[in-house]
Amino acid sequence: RILFSVDLFIDQSILKSVIKRQAFKFKLKPTPEQAQLMARFAGCRRYAWNLALEEQNRRKASDTEKMLWYEELTDLLPKWKKTKKHSFLKNAHSQILQQALKDLKLAIDGAFDPQQPLKQWPKWKKKHKSVESFRYPQGFDIDNRRVFLPKIGWVGFFKSRNIEGTPKNITVKQHGSDWFVSIQTKLVLRDENGKETKPPPHEKNTVVGLDMGVVRFLTYSDGKFEEPLDSFRKAEANLAKVQRELSRKQKFSNNWKKQKGKVNRAYKKIAYCRYDYLQKLSTVISKTHAIVCVENLDIDNMTESASGTVENPGKNVARKSGLNKSILDQGWGMFGGMLKYKSVWLGGQLIPVPPAWTSQTCPECEYCSEENRKTQAEFICQRCGYENNADHVGAINVERAGHARIVGGRTDLVSVWKQKPLLEPSAGPAGIPFL
């Protein structure tokens, strides 16, 4: 579908940013000694978080003491290191511990922020239930296929692509038995004369509407569609098997740790398959269309449990649970985040539209009724007799709603596919890329 002079309708205000922030993630190749140091540093970071959280919880419950600012928390680090109980914190680099306190400060600020109602008070970080990671804001160095980590040394990594921009910080994180480095970069876009500039105009001149579904992962407004990957569904039997074997092991024994590694590897495979599929698909869509129109879905509400309470038990609980599992397995929220930042980087735009009645409105006569869609896939207009696949009808109406927003000048990038931030398991799926 062609929209003439589509570049004239792209909101240039969202393209005024000349700074491109991106993370480049690579798998590390540490020696056994280096891997042991990384595990210790991650443990020290977790311990510093818990110490600071304990202090803040104590002050929060007190009527006479106020909670500490970040600078006041960092002043406690030297005191903790001097005590016999916490002296092992000296082994970790000081910046790693400081960054842990900074993360705690941001978490507490988010819990008090009325604009982030989903944020909760931070919790304790447990050894076997939290992500093992630590961050360096400075002092690191990158030399081709190796990275220098203070107090650890030079560590090789698999360089799968070139690093663009100036490295600002690096994060070392463990997924299962593997360690990864994520290099956060900052790239200022400049023209031939060295002046700061906006992203170049999009190469294409097309607009597309997208309708998300469970049977069809994605349906385009031109009638094409993408099949769901269902990485979790395909691996569910194997995952259940290794989890049953884990439940029979003595907790924290050597056999339990080995089996825990198998569970982590199963989760990691599921996450990698999903992540790879969504990255490739979002790249193709953002490259081939200047404007992408999507439904502004509230995934939290869509995936709420139907079990209800003891007084008011829910209905169709098993069916709703299966639907929730399918939605979360397909990664709608992750896919929306990828489309958002990739469209902006390529000079395009993502237009969220209200999702109400998109699959119940006839695209020919605009008659809206629940009777138009009596089944999941079939759409038959009760007024004019128009027939089509219901997902295709939804995609057509999403594109038309996007056109209306463009013409009306409402092209702001509102929150796309709102979803609660999930705690990432040790080998769980990656989060939404930072824009």
Residues tagged active-site: 211, 295, 391
Place of tokens 């990255």: 279
3-state SS string for 405-417 = HHHCCCCCCCCCC
Q: Looking at residue 206, what DSSP letter applies?
A: B
Is the separation of the CB atoms in 325 and 331 below 8 Å?
Answer: no
Return the SS3 of 204: coil
Q: Do β-strands 146-149 and 378-380 pair in parallel, antiparallel, or remain unpaired?
A: unpaired
Instruction: Choose among 34, 272, 32, 41: nearest CA to 147.
Output: 34
Is the separation of the CB atoms in 332 and 418 below 8 Å?
Answer: no
Question: The sheet that has 178-188: what strands, in order across it?
Answer: 133-136, 166-175, 178-188, 19-29, 153-157, 146-149, 141-143
Place of tokens 């400060």: 105
Return the SS3 of 259: helix
Is the separation of the CB atoms in 270 and 263 below 8 Å?
Answer: no
Q: Looking at residue 140, what DSSP letter applies?
A: -
State the CB neighbour count (10 A cutoff) for residue 27.
Answer: 14
Question: In the structure encoding, which two tokens stand for residue 342, read together?
Answer: 């990739």
Cα gap 191→74, rounded to integer Å: 42
Instruction: Choose among 45, 197, 228: nearest CA to 130.
Output: 45
Q: Looking at residue 293, what DSSP letter applies?
A: E
CA distances from 252 to 45, 177, 258 (A): 21, 16, 10
